[in-house]
Amino acid sequence: MQRTLIILKPDCIQRHLVGRVIQRFEEKGLSIAAMKLMHIPRGLAEEHYAPHKGKPFYPGLIDYVTSGPVVVIVLQGNRSIEIARTLMGKTFGYEAAPGTIRGDFGASRSYNLVHGSDSPESAETEIALYFSGDELVDYSPAGAEWVFPKNDD
């Protein structure tokens, strides 16, 4: 079972889209393994986005993700990273396809509603930044076999 980190960013919270966004992930068959509401401290944001340090958008990104509360989620399911990224859509809302989270709710270049890990390696690193091992709940939802058959890896 693969896991991925999702962050519902301050604009998602302020626009009251949390439930609708989580619903899309759950309807696709992904399960919540951990979730919390928090303010990301500046140091943690800088550590999380360290690969982007020095890029022109970095200072604004750090200001943005620390500007208000976020919901941090660990989702799990077969191919959860690929599924979550497909559901999120392209980074800029005005480029994202209708039917995706950013395509349906986003229009900005700066405010893109949601973060999702882009690889198994980044997911592992990012999850460890926000959650301790004992905060992750491992379970099989009822009916999971109808979403992810055992021979469908």
Question: Which residues are catalytically annotated?
Answer: 115
Is residue 138 within 8 Å of 118, Cβ to Cβ?
no
How do 31-38 and 114-116 pair as beta strands? unpaired
**Whole-angstrom distance, CA of residue 145 vs CA of residue 32:** 16
Show the DSSP H helices in the chain as ranges: 10-14, 18-27, 42-48, 58-65, 80-88, 101-105, 120-130
